[in-house]
Amino acid sequence: MHPLKNTPVQSWTFEHESVIRIGRSTDNHVVLYSAVVSRHHVQLQRTDSLWEVVNLGANGTYLDGERINRIPAVEGAIFRLARSGPSIQVSLGLGAELKGGS
């Protein structure tokens, strides 16, 4: 999400993946170039029809200012990678769409 306007800078759509990896490393599905983002920072994983957000990063993943470890993904939720890092918004459907950026 744009840091001042709270509008998406980029978007990614995933229809068939059951795990979506986000981080600085180029082997992730979503690569974000920010010094506060870990190489493998966070992942969304699907179990049946439910999605979860799972923190993997040393600098933490935050939802509404609270650090999370593992939480259910909720339609429209915006989570932040590290306290000062990029924000990602989740849209759920048959697959998952992520909106955000660095």
Q: What average pLDDT does this structure show over 1-14?
A: 70
Range of the domain at 36: 10-100
Q: With 50 as the cut, is the pLDDT of residue 100 above it?
A: yes
Sequential DSSP letters for 11-79: EEEESS-SEEEEESSTTSSEE---TTS-TT-EEEEEETTEEEEEE--TT-EEETTEEESEEE--TT-EE
- Asked whether residue 4 is assigned to any structural domain, the reply reads no
Among 19-23, 68-72, 86-90, whose mean pLDDT is lowest? 86-90
pTM: 0.85
- Asked whether residue 69 is assigned to any structural domain, the reply reads yes
Looking at the structure of the chain, the number of domains it has is: 1
- Asked whether residue 3 is assigned to any structural domain, the reply reads no
Spatial separation of the C-alpha atoms in residues 50 and 33, rounded to whole Å: 28
Q: With 60 as the cut, is the pLDDT of residue 101 above it?
A: no
Q: What is the pLDDT of residues 44-60, one digit of tens each?
A: 999 887 899 999 999 99
CATH number at residue 73: 2.60.200.20
